[in-house]
Structure 1
Amino acid sequence: MAFHHSADNEVDTSSGIPRSYAWVVFALTFGLLISDYMSRQVLNAVFPLLKGEWALSDSQLGLLSGIVALMVGLLTFPLSLLADRFGRIKSLTLMAVLWSLATLGCALAENYQQMLIARFLVGVGEAAYGSVGIAVVVSVFPREMRATLSGAFISGGMFGSVLGMAAGGFMAQHFGWRWAFAGMALFGLLLASLYPLIVRQARIAPQRAVVAAGQVADKISRPLRTLYSSRSVISAYVGSGLQLFVGGTVIVWMPSYLNRFYGMTTEKAGAVAAIIVLCSGAGMIFCGMLCDRLCRNHPDRKIVLCVGYCLGSCLLLSLAFALPFGTPQLVLIGLGMLIAAGTTGPSGAMVANLTHYSVHGTAFATLTLANNLLGLATGPLLTGKVSDVIGLDNAFQLVPLVSIAAAAVFLYCRRHYLLDIARLRGEPGREEAGATVLEVQP
């Protein structure tokens, strides 16, 4: 997941850029984000076919999925730094070409080892796209539109995930799993070839933006310690990551679950899993809106909501996976996933409040790292290992229990949250922090 920050003293970099051109930049950058997630998630739709053809264990399948999230978590910082120095448009184009060619490599893989290398390269290509892509988008629009654009851009991850699983399942069912990967690769290469021809660095980054960036950079070194200086912010990182262990795992393994225990074809399993992913995406928006409404005058309520989302999803998903296979189970899974990712918005708001506004980009990158290392990469891998021992249906009954640990971390955060907020606002030179912190949600 990606976030964006705004500081009131920033220069309006959109001045002089035609609005029509700005929307073209958004459409192409958004399209590449969809390609990013389609290339990442198409694998989940073809799990059953790969397992049957190559006799893979669930641990091996989980690693194929988890290695992409792991690379995204580990490489976001260094690759974003290189993009800022090398040029964002060139970097985005190279990223898209790399993940598209790597996805094509998945289609051509002859064995598990080759597939694993190709998936590793998919993760390398996708690692910094979210942070660099949102930087390009917000630079071409007025500041007052940044919250709307950030939310719209982030939703591309869900759209891409749904399209990747649904389209991947359809193509795998009718043309074979290799064409599922090839289709995603060709879509990405088409957009990557158009992007640098239409989106040009000189048009979206005039000289005044370079000067403004230098002025902002001069203010960053001192507040960096707010990224890790309070118990509350560390708890927000850890709690968010643990809760995404649950949601991320269900999304990755749901097509295989539907195939094995409901007897669904690859195409139908991908379509049903896509609906569950949409439930998760809708829940992120709804839970974030609820947080903004209820916590306007009570900032610590967002932590109470996080605890509620964790325990509520644990209850619903535990009950769902204890039920016999059938429609009631699928309904409960959808309801559980509706709130399973609900902590994403409040967690982002807590991180924004607990860190200095000038380093919010780095703070949200740290949150992304925690989400990937503790949840999105670890969850599918560990679940696959457990599934090899006790079966996927029994492994799914254990996954929701991680939400209890996430709730405990958020409760610990609540004990220190208001004190840490007061301490941050009371530090010399930070008087403006409370006024400029922007609550953000996915």
Structure 2
Amino acid sequence: MDMHALDSKQGSDSYLFGPRQAWFAFAMTLGLMMVDYIDRQVIVSLFPHLKEAWGLSDKQLGALVSAVSVTVAVGGIPIALIADRFSRVKSIVVMATVWSLASISCMFTRNFGQLLAARAAVGLGEAGYGSVGAALIASHFPARMRGALMAAFFSAASIGSVLGVMLGGVIAARWGWQAAFGVVGVPGLVLALLYIKVRDYRTVELTPRIEQATRSTQGAASAIIKRLMRSKTLLWVCIAAPAQLILVSAIWAWLPSFLNRVHGMTPEQAAIKAALVVLCGALGSVVWGAIADRAGRKRPAAKLQVTAVVCIASAAVLALGFGAEHVGLVLSKQAQFALLAFGGFLMTCSVGVVAAVVIDVIHPGIRATGASVLSLFQNLLGLAMGPLVAGFLSDAWSLEHALIAMPVFGLLAAGAFMRASRSYGADLQRACETEVEAGPDSAPAGAHRSVPA
């Protein structure tokens, strides 16, 4: 059945509570997504200060980034289960309050262990936010708008990362690195109070089988494994997505330190320059998401194939940007930075695509829980691994050589995306049939189709 006809048939081409409520929910959720990533990424521009103050190794510095992703991954599914059966809005209010207070607490830490624990608490508060917030947005808007909205939602993560990197460097240069944690933690508390005004959708009635499967984390995990085994697309995308994010997170975490150590910039200057590369990534996630969507209109597999090609391009450009002189190519620092910025624009190509593809197979009643599956893989195997792996390689070799090696993960992602493209068409058709059986119920039909994790 034609996808547009299916959406029209089930009345998904309308707002749940009207445009005003939908756009208010979108703005608030987007704002918190931005704050989420400001609090996550502020640490990377503080690496030079922490290394000087406490004498930390690169492994320890990488762990301060990875700790957030680990707790996000571990807590994502249980929190999404609660949100799906309790309240999306109230859950988000609690989450934002917890991660903001945890971020503020980082300014009072006095050693590595305390700071690591505080950073882990930031991740615990943020766990499940992306999947729950995206499920809420998807339910408010017509299906025809969700692809662009999800791309914008994820671009807020990149913009938040830009601000986190930049603000951390600027604030630390003026008032000390401890103050950076306190300043960036306050906006989340303000938005958490305002978020109470967002309207939630009524919890969807589940079938007895799904109800039984999602009563516990163990039951949800069992159901997830069974679905992974049934859907080859889901399995391969859950390999490809974290592989590309290993590259993205390594670059975002270590680029300020690279510019500081190799190019001789001050920490403040390095933070601002690195923020420009992250900004290129924010733009790239939207541009490449739109290109992939257009490519997949007539032939669904093309969406993943285009993404695979761009992953290969990102790996090549970044490897050349960091290692040009090692292959006999002499580049000025300006030309090298231009290559890194272009690589940053390419490397976020998969962000919006994987979200839409994975949620294609999820029942409407467990949208947030289903979206958290991708979040689990992305955070635990992707965002958590990148900074840590690069830190280990940096201690063993050098930071420059570590960053030259990281693009190999982009090639791994490309291979997995190409493999996923073979089964995507069949899995998409099966999802359409499941959607027809589920019916429109409380949230607009098709709301699950474009929800990111």
TM-score band, normalised by shorter chain: 0.7 to 0.9
Larger mean CA deviation between 252-261 and 303-312 belongs to 303-312
Answer yes or no: is 1:332 the counterpart of 2:342: no
Shift of 1:216: 5.1
Distance in 2 (CA, whole Å) between partners of 1:218 and 1:149 is 32
Contact 1:356 1:437 in 2 (8 A): no
Distance in 1 (CA, whole Å) between partners of 2:136 and 2:419 is 37
Distance 1:160 1:337, change over 3 A: same
CA deviation vs aligned residue, 1:127-178 (integer Å, no higher than 9, x gap): 1222222344445555654444433333221221111111111101111101
Distance in 2 (CA, whole Å) between partners of 1:158 and 1:139 is 23
CA deviation vs aligned residue, 1:407-430 (integer Å, no higher than 9, x gap): 2323333454456556x3798x67
Contact 1:316 1:333 in 2 (8 A): yes
Shift of 1:185: 1.6
The residue type equivalent to 1:379 in the other structure is G
Distance in 2 (CA, whole Å) between partners of 1:332 and 1:397 is 13
**Correspondence list, 1:382-421, <5 A:** 382-418=389-425
Distance in 1 (CA, whole Å) between partners of 2:32 and 2:417 is 35
Shift of 1:183: 0.3
The residue type equivalent to 1:384 in the other structure is G
Answer yes or no: is 1:237 the counterpart of 2:244: no
Distance 1:393 1:96, change over 3 A: same
TM-score by length of 1: 0.85
Distance in 1 (CA, whole Å) between partners of 2:428 and 2:136 is 31
**Correspondence list, 1:145-224, <5 A:** 145-196=145-196, 199=197, 204-205=199-200, 209-210=201-202, 213-215=203-205, 220=210
Report the 3-state secondary structure (helix = DSSP H, G, I; strand = E; otherwise coil) of the residue aligned with 1:342: coil
Distance in 2 (CA, whole Å) between partners of 1:121 and 1:128 is 13
Shift of 1:188: 2.2
Shift of 1:13: 9.9
Match of 2:297? 296
Match of 1:44? 44
The residue type equivalent to 1:333 in the other structure is L
Contact 1:353 1:437 in 2 (8 A): no
Q: Runs of 5+ in structure 2 lacking a partner?
A: 1-6, 214-222, 326-331, 439-444
The residue type equivalent to 2:254 in the other structure is W
Distance in 2 (CA, whole Å) between partners of 1:13 and 1:430 is 17
Distance 1:194 1:299, change over 3 A: closer
Distance in 1 (CA, whole Å) between partners of 2:21 and 2:355 is 30
CA deviation vs aligned residue, 1:330-386 (integer Å, no higher than 9, x gap): 111111222212123333343245566665544432222111122111111111011
The residue type equivalent to 1:404 in the other structure is L
Match of 1:250? 251
Distance in 2 (CA, whole Å) between partners of 1:215 and 1:417 is 28
Distance in 2 (CA, whole Å) between partners of 1:8 and 1:105 is 51
Shift of 1:25: 3.9
Distance in 2 (CA, whole Å) between partners of 1:190 and 1:356 is 34
Distance in 2 (CA, whole Å) between partners of 1:229 and 1:403 is 26
Distance in 1 (CA, whole Å) between partners of 2:128 and 2:89 is 12
**Correspondence list, 1:92-103, <5 A:** 92-103=92-103
Report the 3-state secondary structure (helix = DSSP H, G, I; strand = E; otherwise coil) of the residue aligned with 1:150: helix
The residue type equivalent to 1:408 in the other structure is G
**Correspondence list, 1:263-302, <5 A:** 263-302=264-303
Distance in 1 (CA, whole Å) between partners of 2:371 and 2:237 is 11
Report the 3-state secondary structure (helix = DSSP H, G, I; strand = E; otherwise coil) of the residue aligned with 1:297: coil
Distance in 1 (CA, whole Å) between partners of 2:204 and 2:364 is 16
Shift of 1:18: 6.5
Shift of 1:275: 0.9
**Correspondence list, 1:337-416, <5 A:** 337-353=344-360, 361-416=368-423
The residue type equivalent to 2:313 in the other structure is G
Distance in 1 (CA, whole Å) between partners of 2:8 and 2:79 is 23
Distance 1:219 1:283, change over 3 A: farther
Distance 1:105 1:13, change over 3 A: farther
Shift of 1:105: 1.3
Distance 1:8 1:386, change over 3 A: farther
Match of 2:308? 307
Match of 1:123? 123
Contact 1:232 1:417 in 2 (8 A): yes
Contact 1:49 1:177 in 2 (8 A): yes
Distance in 1 (CA, whole Å) between partners of 2:142 and 2:419 is 39
The residue type equivalent to 2:407 in the other structure is P
Shift of 1:314: 1.4
The residue type equivalent to 1:344 in the other structure is V
Contact 1:288 1:441 in 2 (8 A): no
Q: Runs of 5+ in structure 1 lacking a partner?
A: 1-5
Distance 1:240 1:106, change over 3 A: same
- CA-atom RMSD in angstroms: 3.2
Shift of 1:8: 6.8
Distance in 1 (CA, whole Å) between partners of 2:267 and 2:207 is 50
Report the 3-state secondary structure (helix = DSSP H, G, I; strand = E; otherwise coil) of the residue aligned with 2:238: helix
Distance 1:144 1:342, change over 3 A: closer
Larger mean CA deviation between 360-369 and 74-83 belongs to 360-369
Match of 1:320? 321
Q: Give the share of equivalent positions with the same residue, in percent.
A: 37
Report the 3-state secondary structure (helix = DSSP H, G, I; strand = E; otherwise coil) of the residue aligned with 1:68: helix
Match of 1:3? none
Answer yes or no: is 1:31 the counterpart of 2:24: no
Match of 1:113? 113
Contact 1:96 1:126 in 2 (8 A): yes
Distance 1:282 1:8, change over 3 A: farther
Distance 1:11 1:329, change over 3 A: closer
Match of 1:53? 53
Report the 3-state secondary structure (helix = DSSP H, G, I; strand = E; otherwise coil) of the residue aligned with 2:407: helix
Distance in 2 (CA, whole Å) between partners of 1:191 and 1:418 is 40
